[in-house]
């Protein structure tokens, strides 16, 4: 009788609900076990991610006296205002926006071309995909070193080819000017990100049913009209992911710039300005403030993409 009472549950009205089901007990035990297994990951994330973020934000609200042996004190948003008023930070912002605009446009356009060409099965497709993924597998520093040999003013491949074609009469220093330097660094960045973008779009194309294209072909739709009215609308979720990934990667561009052109002012990005302010000048207060502003802008871009494409698909 005692065991029967222990295995019963009582409703709020007082009537017993019958024996407790073994399934409910198993679900509760599974939930408890899952929470216990997740606890180390949660603690590690809180220690390695959340705490540094909180501490970094606190640093951005304090003075930079600690770098010179003083005692930091609370200054509020003054560091953010001073960063916004800095001419080097404004130039770095313009450069970063240029990188984002050029990189995202090229990645989306070239990614669509590659995805349309490779999403159907053909002989040798696996080899082509393996070659396509190779740039993404290389570290960005290695890619920068390889491309630096191409743009080298003395013995670079680009100058050699253009001189052999009699397009140039003398070697050019391609990364000295602002316009050419931004363009070539963006191309190097796109070369490394394009494989990932193409694979995302290929996955999106493969999720579109072939019956849709067959039905439109019966109605007389040309391949161009199919691409415009079927492919692009159904690819909107993949395009949203592509734009988000491309924007985030272009916003945090650093390695390619540093390897190709160092910390030169004509190509310095926001992330490079963060590095230069924080570690070269030892100004952690303004450096962390600039880093948090970069994070906020990146999150804003991602939110705009998500909201825009969600509305267009509903």
Q: Which residues pair with 10 in a beta bridge?
A: 16
Collapsing DSSP states into helix, strand and coil, what is residue 16?
strand
Higher pLDDT: 8 or 169? It is 169
CA distance 131 to 143: 15
Lowest mean pLDDT among 5-14, 114-123, 176-185: 5-14
Q: Of all residues in the chain, what percent carry a pLDDT higher than 70?
A: 89
CA distance 67 to 284: 8
Q: What pTM value is reported for the model?
A: 0.78
Contact at 8 Å (CB) between 97 and 298? no
At residue 267, φ and ψ (nearest 5 deg) are -130, 10
Collapsing DSSP states into helix, strand and coil, what is residue 231?
helix
Q: Report, as an integer, the average pLDDT of 270-286.
A: 89
- In terms of DSSP H, where are the helices of 167-235? 178-206, 210-218, 223-226, 232-234
Find the radius of gyration of the CA atoms of the chain. 28
Write out pLDDT tens, residues 33-42.
888 888 888 8
- DSSP class of residue 10? E
Token pair listed for 126: 């696996």
Lowest mean pLDDT among 15-29, 107-121, 160-174, 255-269: 15-29
Q: What is the pLDDT of residue 33?
A: 84
Q: Which residues pair with 19 in a beta bridge?
A: 8
Write out pLDDT tens, residues 8-50.
444 444 445 555 566 678 788 888 888 888 888 888 888 888 8
Write out pLDDT tens, residues 40-89.
888 888 888 888 888 889 888 888 765 556 677 888 889 999 988 889 99
């Amino acid at each position: 009788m005692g065991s029967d009472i222990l295995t019963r549950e009582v409703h709020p009205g007082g009537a017993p609900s019958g024996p407790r089901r073994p399934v409910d007990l198993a679900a509760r035990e599974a939930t408890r076990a899952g929470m216990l297994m997740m606890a180390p990951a949660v603690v590690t994330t809180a220690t390695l991610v959340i705490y540094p973020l909180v501490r970094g934000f606190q640093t951005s609200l304090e003075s930079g006296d600690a770098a010179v042996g003083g005692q930091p004190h609370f200054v509020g948003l003054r560091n953010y205002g001073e960063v916004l008023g800095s001419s080097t930070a404004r130039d770095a912002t313009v450069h970063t926006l240029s990188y984002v605009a050029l990189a995202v446009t090229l990645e989306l356009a070239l990614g669509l071309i590659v995805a349309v060409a490779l999403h159907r099965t053909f002989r040798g497709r696996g080899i082509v995909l393996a070659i396509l993924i190779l740039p993404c597998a290389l570290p960005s520093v290695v890619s920068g070193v390889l491309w630096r040999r191409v743009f080298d003013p003395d013995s670079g491949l680009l100058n050699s080819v253009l001189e052999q074609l009699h397009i140039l009469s003398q070697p050019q220093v391609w990364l000295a000017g602002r316009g050419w330097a931004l363009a070539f660094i963006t191309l190097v960045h796109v070369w490394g990100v394009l494989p990932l973008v193409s694979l995302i779009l290929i996955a999106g194309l493969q999720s579109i049913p072939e019956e849709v294209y067959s039905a439109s072909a019966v109605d007389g739709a040309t391949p161009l009209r199919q691409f415009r009215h079927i492919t692009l609308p159904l690819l909107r979720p993949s395009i949203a992911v592509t734009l988000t990934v491309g924007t985030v990667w272009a916003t945090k561009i650093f390695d390619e710039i540093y390897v190709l052109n160092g910390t030169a002012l004509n190509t310095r990005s926001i992330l490079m300005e963060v590095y230069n302010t924080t570690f070269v000048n030892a100004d952690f207060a303004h450096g962390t403030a600039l880093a948090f502003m970069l994070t906020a802008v990146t999150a804003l871009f991602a939110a705009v993409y998500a909201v825009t494409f969600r509305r267009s698909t509903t």
